[in-house]
Amino acid sequence: MPKVTKKELKRESLLNQGVTMLMGQGYHGTGLQEILNAANIPKGSFYNYFGSKENFGAEVIQHYIDPFITQLAAHLQQSETDALSAIRRYFGELIVELEKNEFKGGCLLGNLMGEIGDSSEICRKSLQFAVGRYRDLLQSGLAKAQQQGTVRSDKTTEEMADLLINTWQGALLRMKIEKSSVPAKQCCKNLLEDFFKP
Amino acid sequence: MPKVTKKELKRESLLNQGVTMLMGQGYHGTGLQEILNAANIPKGSFYNYFGSKENFGAEVIQHYIDPFITQLAAHLQQSETDALSAIRRYFGELIVELEKNEFKGGCLLGNLMGEIGDSSEICRKSLQFAVGRYRDLLQSGLAKAQQQGTVRSDKTTEEMADLLINTWQGALLRMKIEKSSVPAKQCCKNLLEDFFKP
DNA sequence: GCTTATAATATGACCGGTCGTATTAATGCG
DNA sequence: CGCATTAATACGACCGGTCATATTATAAGC
């Protein structure tokens, strides 16, 4: 595989810092300069990597969801675990991470949907694409679980995946203001261990 | 009842404009000047009504939830309707309003939880209080419905109210980026007409 | 391979503007 | 006229983005 250039390293550093800071302070609450300071990149250089802050935001969104998709896919690919258990384990791991992080941040997708979902068309589309990618993977996991007989068959897996994602998003918002992982745990218990069961 | 003073009128106008603009553009995406222009109030006067932008934000949050609580309470007080039907009708009305508004804005509580839930302690507490008020009212409605035998009794009404609010919040975020009320409708269908049923 | 010219890339000072808040001035009322 | 209230103005900081310039990379000729 081709060697990663210095430019690509810097670009990725910007994206990583962008994820961290937009999660903590939101899109408009975070100035470019703060991100550039953290990534040690001068202002003028930023525009070699990204056309604008808005374009940068759209790419931060994709950069954010990538590891979640990788992690969920890895769970689903484990052949010795049934799909529903894989999904439960995946969310279990997320909850452990959120507790470690003292309930801060939540989900960047949810945060930005709320903040700039109406005001940035570029970011709205990036969010829609990211949520779609994530939801499609969850849906394929639920479909597998249906085949394995561990999930109810009278509801479409699209609808169940949507419900799961929406409830999870709402639970993470509650988590932030109540500083507790109880909402996230209840989401998993009520849907994955109750409502979705045959 | 005492006559409403001019000062109170101006204060309420600021809060109304604040709700509208924070919904559309978020907290940090909306400057005070924009709100003051819309309310026709000079910059210096703002500080007669509110100690800071942050305090203003916290009061906008309470001002935002008040009519929802009033509307839901009115539904629940109608003696000729059972509680579950009242809740369904309430959410049905919200969906109609959201469709009329072309799926913009969503829920200010959800938006601000995501954007400033970690960065403003004053607003976090206001959000927590507002969500608590709303949830408690929903919980009392679900408790009534349990008494009437229209809602399952093997789950606490606190937990069901939490699940309903969290899923609704997540559904409204999806609504914004997909410009569709389907997520909100699915939330009601799956929870109020399925999962919560005895 | 070295030197020079050219092209590409990187950069930080600067721009015009707005920010939230503090200070000062003006106005209204008893 | 004095005090309270309201409003105008000022302030220091920061915003996203631009651009003239500096630096680095590449190409061409010998």
In this prediction, residue B2 has a pLDDT band, given cuts at 50, 70 and 90, of low
Q: For residue B169, give every residue at least 6 positions away whose Cβ sits within 8 Å of its Cβ, in sequence order, or none.
A: A169, A170, A173, A174, B107, B109, B110, B113
Residue B3 is predicted with a pLDDT of 63
Instruction: Return the higher-pLDDT residue of A1 and A33.
Output: A33
pLDDT tens-digit map of B127-182: 999 999 999 999 999 999 999 999 999 999 999 999 999 999 999 999 999 999 99
Looking at A153-162, A174-183, B5-14, which range is the least confident one? B5-14
User: Does the distance separating the beta carbons of B166 and A183 come in below 8 Å?
Assistant: yes
Q: From CA A141, how far away is CA A113, in angstroms rounded?
A: 24
Asked if A51 contacts A69 with a C-beta cutoff of 8 angstroms, the reply is: no
Nucleotides of D under 7 A from a protein CB: 5-10, 14-20
CB-based contact, A27 to chain B, within 8 Å: yes
Of B50, B47, B39, B44, give the one whose Cα is nearest residue B13: B39
Element (H, E) at B64: helix B53-77
The rounded distance, in Å, linking the Cα atoms of B131 and B128 is: 5
Contact by Cβ (8 Å): A17, A38: yes
How far is it, in rounded angstroms, from Cα A25 to Cα A21?
A: 6
Using only C-alpha atoms, chain B has a radius of gyration, in whole angstroms, of 18
Question: How long is the CA A48 to C1' D29 vector, in angstroms?
Answer: 32
Q: Which domains does chain A have, with CATH numbers?
A: 52-195 (1.10.357.10)
- Residue A126: phi and psi, rounded to 5, are -65, -40
Smallest Cα distance from A182 to chain B, Å = 10
Question: How many other β-carbons are positioned within 10 Å of the β-carbon of residue B167?
Answer: 29
What residue has its CA nearest to the C1' of D6?
B45
So what's the ipTM on this one?
0.92
Taking Cα atoms as reference points, which of B29, B83, B86, B78 lies closest to residue B57? B29
CA distance A31 to chain B (A): 11
Per-residue model confidence as pLDDT tens digits over B15-25:
999 999 999 99
Q: Is B133 on the interface with A (CB under 8 A)?
A: no
Cα dist from B49 to A18, A91, B16, B129, B151, whole Å = 36, 45, 14, 21, 45
- Return the closest nucleotide (C1') to the Cα of B51: C21
Average pLDDT (A5-9) is 81
Q: B-chain residues within 8 Å CB-CB of A112?
A: 114
Q: pLDDT, tens digit, for every residue of B69-103?
A: 999 999 999 988 999 999 999 999 999 999 999 99
Q: What percent of chain A has pLDDT over 90?
A: 93
Residue A139: how many other CB atoms lie within 10 Å: 19
B187 CB-contact burial (10 Å; exposed 0-12 / middle 13-18 / buried 19+):
buried
pLDDT band at A1 (very low <50, low <70, confident <90, very high): very low
In terms of CA atoms, which chain B residue is nearest residue A108?
A: B114
